[in-house]
Each structure stands twice: as structure tokens, then as C-alpha cells.
Structure 1
Amino acid sequence: MSAKLAVVIHAEEEFDWNGGFCRFNDSVTHHQELIVLIREMLLIGAKVTLAMDYPFVTSAGGQQVINTFRDQAGEAIEFAAHLHPWVNPPYLETGEDGVASELESYPGNLSAELEFEKIQVLSHAIKRETGLSPVTYLAGRYGIGPNTRRILQRLGYRVDLSISAFSNFTHQQGPDFSTFNNRMFQQDQITYLPHTCSRMSAFPWASKTLNDHPTLLTGQDFTTRVVRKMLGVRTYRLSPEGVPLKDLIAAARHQLKLGHHQLVLSFHSPTVKPGMTPYVSSADEYQTFRATTLDFIKWFNRLPDSEMFLPASLAHHGGCYA
């Protein structure tokens, strides 16, 4: 089976990552830098999914990005939905500072009615600006919940990118994905393609075991920490944000060897402008981020029988399974 790569950009507003979830932080000023990087990725053969939240879609900057790539939609560009509930109508009931609680920052924690209304408003905004109804969904903070699947079905979505393999956000009142590896699967007509994350060990047998049994060696007790250290266990998200190129390649090779042929390379759109996210604070760091992104795509395209894809294509083919 061919190796496939989706490039997914969390296209969102700029905010202080340590300053809470404020309704009034809705600026999008990184659009020019984002357009430049997307063009560079397209030129080397990438296909790009813009998972867009409400401030991005409704801002002048975000709309400029949409208009720049509108004629490539369905071929090299996909317009998907990305819900940040604290900046998406109908707005949460907050104090004068407009700051939502951490619990409310995960859309899956909201009532079924409110989660539905927020995704519906976002879906309508995307269709209004792009002319297309999104079929791919990415919850903000990966925050799907017990009602999300039914809501997505009701609104015509077919693909969900919200699962973050091996991750557990319960310490922040978020979802627990610690039982999930990177295997794509389908449930109730929704195809789930996890954000790629790779657990690796210095010992090949241990790497396979850790991926086949995601909850193994995830505890924080002394013995578990010692065993992880002895086995050289490392975990890498497939993202150019803070992960060196050699580690991205190692993570991708590992997943492909395990038979997980659909990979997701992801990053947050404000990272393209220094100072907007913790991953890029200077021009030099941006150049490292840019080079890592482009060099990984070039490396992937040199693999035998490799293919770039848009997640929406999984809906057209009813899913594809490794």
C-alpha cells in the first residue's frame, strides 16, 4: 500500500497561549506569511488542508488566504472546520474579561445543543466564504466528546481529525486518547484519521509493542519511568513545531513500518509569524520551522509510491484502511 501524507494547518486566530481562552482575542495578522508558506508547499507537491476556525474565516486576513487558494479547492486545497468554542458564536457566558474556563475550552464538554450550534455556525461561515460545505472536522484542543459524532453526522461531516494518538488531556478536563494509536478507522459513517504521533524505543520489538498497546508504560510511577528510560522510549508528534527533521523522518518511517500508511503533518497557522506561538519566537526559528516543513514534504515525496492527499477524499472512498 502506498504511503500517504495529509498536511493539516490549524488555521486560527492569534492569542497568548498562557493567557487563557479569551473571546476577544480574534486577530488574524499572519495571513501574508501563511500564503507564502502554503504556496511553497504546493510548489513541491503538497496538498494542504486548512482547518479553519470562526475568527480565521470571518477576518479580512483569513478571507484573503481563502480567496488566494479558492480555485484549487478539491484538488490541492481543502477547506475544513476547526472549532475554538471560546471565540465561536453562540458565545459562552463569561465575565467582562471574556475568558472561558478550561473545561469549556474543549468543545466536547459543552452541552449537545451548544456544541451543535457552534459547529453549525462555523459550517455556515465556511460555506459562505468558500462556497463549499466542509466535510472534515477538527475539534479545537482535539476536544471531541460524547455528542460530537452524532452532531457531525447531522451536519454532513464525514471525516474527523480530532483524535491525538497516545494523548491524555484529562488533567486539563479534556479527552483521553491514550488507548488510540494511529490506525484510521470508521464508525457510524465517520472516518477517524488521528493526528500522527509516534512512540518509539531503541528496541524494535518494544516500539511495535508500545504502538500495538498504547496504554503500556504510560504511568508516572517510579518503576514505569525507569523502564521507559531503559527502553529509550520517545514520543514525537508529526509536526515541524519543535521537532527536528531527523525525528520527523524517524517517526514517519516507524509508522509506515507498522502499517499505518495515512500520516498527518500538522501545525498551527500563527506559527508562520515569529512571536505568535511558543514554537517560533524569532526570524531564525521561523527559518528552521519553514525548512523543516518543506524538507519533510520533499523527503516524503521521494518515498516509493508515495502520495499526498486531502482528508475529504477518505469520505469519497468510504475510508481506506491499513
Structure 2
Amino acid sequence: MPMRSIIEPPPAHAIARFSDEFGQRFLLTVDTEEEFDWNKPLTRDAYDLHHLVHLGRFQQFCEEEQVAPVYLIDWPVANSPLAEEILRPAVKRKKAEIGIQLHPWVNPPFEEEVNQLNSFAGNLSRSLEHSKFHLLRNMIQDRFEIAPVMYRAGRYGAGPDTAKMLQKDGIAIDSSVRARFNYNAQGGPNYQSHPLCPYWLDDTHQLLELPLTTSFFGLLRKQADSIYPMLRRFPALRGILSRLGLIERIPLTPEGVSIEEAIRGIDIALDDGLPMLVFSFHSPSLAPGHTPYVRDDKDLDQLYAWFRHIFAYLKQRKVRPASIRSVMDAVIR
């Protein structure tokens, strides 16, 4: 059977099942990327990597919490000797894992115009998307002496040919789908109707989709799939409905989501029987001043406090950390 498109919702029969021993797990993913001004137009060279020195502190924190993060690294990070120095030993000790994240505007070959539309790799020609991905995958393999098997498109920008590309290059897990988010207005994909649970992108069970976890909370959460898309034209209503306790969209990230909100999102996801919770955040948030979410040392302390509380709550709810390998071993093919 042909590979299905990542940007299209899957059929019901594609939902993945896991062994009973797997239980409910969580995966911590880190979009490990360059620093750039999110409020300015993208460029090929207006970026830095100053925050990478702080990866060591975060990795040590995760090891103390007995969580092995998945660092989804892009071209500038893959080419950084400092990133290699910090992450490679952790990967060798099996305390961290490495995956791929494609930011096309900073990833050769540089053939396309740098603009909003082309920042979603899935909008590029099939050959150019594959060329950029292939160079990045090979660079990561050379730097870390591993064959990465997990991918996330930067800006969640998968396209109609992305799944075929991943299959061709031996990728086993994609995590480009940010369920319940719609990026059409920016020229990207619409994941509003995609499920939260893992599912297969093909009927031969070669490529597994692990969507990022986002829960709806509130009195109208059962109707949120139909109501929330209509709020795009009235963004002020989102805040009103949230404050009234009617509909609240909660992605599992420390960026812009409080501890209390995250716990509500976790409870809903677990109570709905979701087998996998996929957390994410951007690595530049590990140092003050690089993202809107961490502007100073107080914000950074809060980020670590967020993870500390969330890890403790997950342990309380008997949700164990997962790894790429444990997911691949437990999924029923």
C-alpha cells in the first residue's frame, strides 16, 4: 500500500496499538535549533548558537529526573562542535537520543527563495525537500555515529511527499503533526482534524506518526473539534471561552503554558486513554532572551520548575518516560 500523506488525517484503521506492558508513557522532545528573532523575516545567516552551552545543564537535569530527552537537531546545531561535545556522550550512555529537525532556510542546498511559504519544508519541490533532508541526516549520522530514526519538520511543515521521503531514508517515526493546530494562514499545513493518538502512515506499518499532545479542556471540550476551528476569525473569543471554563486548548509544553494548565491537559489525555504524551519545547528557551517564553533568569527558573513539577505529577500518575527504542519495541505491527 502507498504511504499516506502526513498532512491528511488518517483512516480509523491506521490507529496504532501497543503491548499491554507499555502502559501509558511520555516522550520529551526538544526542537534543538538556532536562535533567531521570531518577530523578523527569516534569513539564511541572521542566527546564533549562544544557548547551546546551556544544553549541558538541561541534560544533567533530565538525567537526575531519569528522563532521556530526544534532541531533534537541525543543520546549524548538527554542525556545532559544542553541541556534539555536549550531546554525544549522553547519547552513548543512552541518556539521550538524537533525531532530525529540518529548518529549510538554513539547510543546504540553498536553491529556494527565503520566505514564509518556503519555511515549511513540505512546500518545497519533492527533490529539494529530499536533498535538504538527506544532507542533514548524513551530517547527523557522521557527527554522532548513529542512524537517526525520528523526524520533525521545522514549523511542523510536513508536506504531501514528506512521508515517502522519510520511508525512503529509513525513518521509523515522524512527529511533525501538531494536532489541533492550523497553520494554513501562514502557508503551512492544517492539523486541526488529526488525532492525538499514534497512528501508522502506511498499511505495512513502517512509519509511525507520534503527534504532539494538545488537549481540549472545559465544559464544551467534547464539541471543541467543531467549535475551535471557527474561532480563528475571532481570536479574542478564545481567551473569553477559556476564562469562562468552556474551551481551553492546552499543548504540553512549558512555553506559554502554566503548570496548572499542563496538569489539566495531562489529566484529560490520560483519562481519555491516550497511550503516549509527547512534550516539546525549543532549545533556545534554555537561556534568557532568545524566545518570548524565557526573557530573564526568573523565567528560566520557572521553566525548570515546570519540568520538575510535571515529571513528579507524571510519576504520581504512573506514567513512565519513553524512548524512541521503547516505542518501536512496544508498538504492535
Name the TM-score, length of structure 2 as normaliser. Answer: 0.86
CA displacement, residues 75-107 of structure 1 (integer Å, 9 cap, x when unaligned): x3110000000000111344xxxxx10000000
Q: CA distance change for structure 1 residues 200 and 181 in 2, over 3 Å: closer, same or farther?
A: farther
User: How far did residue 237 of structure 1 move?
Assistant: 0.9
Whole-angstrom CA distance in 2 between matches of 1:152 and 1:93: 21
Contact 2:91–2:97 (CA under 8 A) maintained in structure 1: no
Write the mapping of 1:144-159 to structure 2, written as runs, cut at 5 A: 144-159=158-173
Indicate which of 176, 191, 195 corresponds to 1:177: 191
Q: What is the one-letter code of the residue matched to 2:25? A: K
Aligned-pair CA distance for 1:62: 1.8
In structure 2, what is the equivalent of residue 128 of structure 1? 142
| 3-state SS, counterpart of residue 218 of structure 1 | helix
Helix, strand or coil for the counterpart of 1:219? Answer: helix
Q: 2:208 aligns with which of 191, 203, 225?
A: 191
Question: Unpaired segments of 5 or more residues in structure 2?
Answer: 1-19
Question: 1:22 aligns to what?
Answer: 43
Q: What is the match of residue 97 of structure 1?
A: none
Aligned-partner residue type, residue 155 of structure 1:
D
Task: Decide which moves more: 147-156 or 12-21.
Answer: 12-21
Residue type of the alignment partner of 2:298: D
1:26/1:87 contact within 8 Å kept: no
Trace 1:30-49 onto structure 2 (pairs within 5 A). 30-49=51-70
The Cα of 1:49 is off from its aligned counterpart by: 0.2
Instruction: State the shift of 1:208 in Å.
Output: 3.6
1:31, 1:64 within 8 Å by CA — same for their partners in 2?
no
SS at match of 1:267: strand
Gaps of 5+ in 1: 95-99
Structure 1 pair 35–254 and aligned structure 2 pair: CA distance change class (3 A): same
2:265 alignment partner AA:
A
Contact 2:112 2:118 in 1 (8 A): no
Contact 2:217 2:247 in 1 (8 A): yes
Q: Are 1:86 and 1:92, in contact at CA under 8 Å, matched by a contact in 2? A: no
Summarize the Cα distance change of 1:81–1:312 in structure 2 as closer, same or farther, 3 Å threshold.
farther
Q: Percent identity?
A: 28
Corresponding residue of 1:79: 98
Matches of 1:139 and 1:169, distance apart in 2: 13
Contact kept? 2:44, 2:106, Cα under 8 Å: yes
Equivalent residue for 2:328? 315
Distance change >3 Å, CA 312–CA 159, structure 1 → 2: farther
Distance 1:190 1:315 in 2: 10
- Residue 149 of structure 1 deviates from its aligned partner by 0.4
**Does the CA-based 8 Å contact 1:69-1:77 persist in structure 2?**
yes
8 Å contact kept, 1:28–1:61: no
Q: How far apart, CA to CA, are the structure 2 residues paired with 1:225 and 1:303? A: 33
Alpha-carbon distance in structure 2 between the residues aligned to 1:292 and 1:79: 23
TM-score (norm: length of structure 1): 0.89
Would you say 1:245 and 2:259 are equivalent positions?
Answer: yes
Residue 219 of structure 1: aligned partner: 230
Shift, 1:301, TM fit: 1.8
**Does the 8 Å contact 2:87/2:96 carry over to 1?**
no
Quote the Cα distance in structure 2 between the aligned partners of 1:174 and 1:313.
31
Separation in 1 of the partners of 2:195 and 2:274? Answer: 9
- Which of 79, 83, 88 is the aligned partner of 1:62? 83
- For 2:222 and 2:195, locate their aligned partners in 1 and report how far apart those are by CA, in whole Å: 11
Q: Distance in 2 between matches of 1:24 and 1:319?
A: 44
The answer to whether the 8 A contact 1:30-1:61 is kept is no
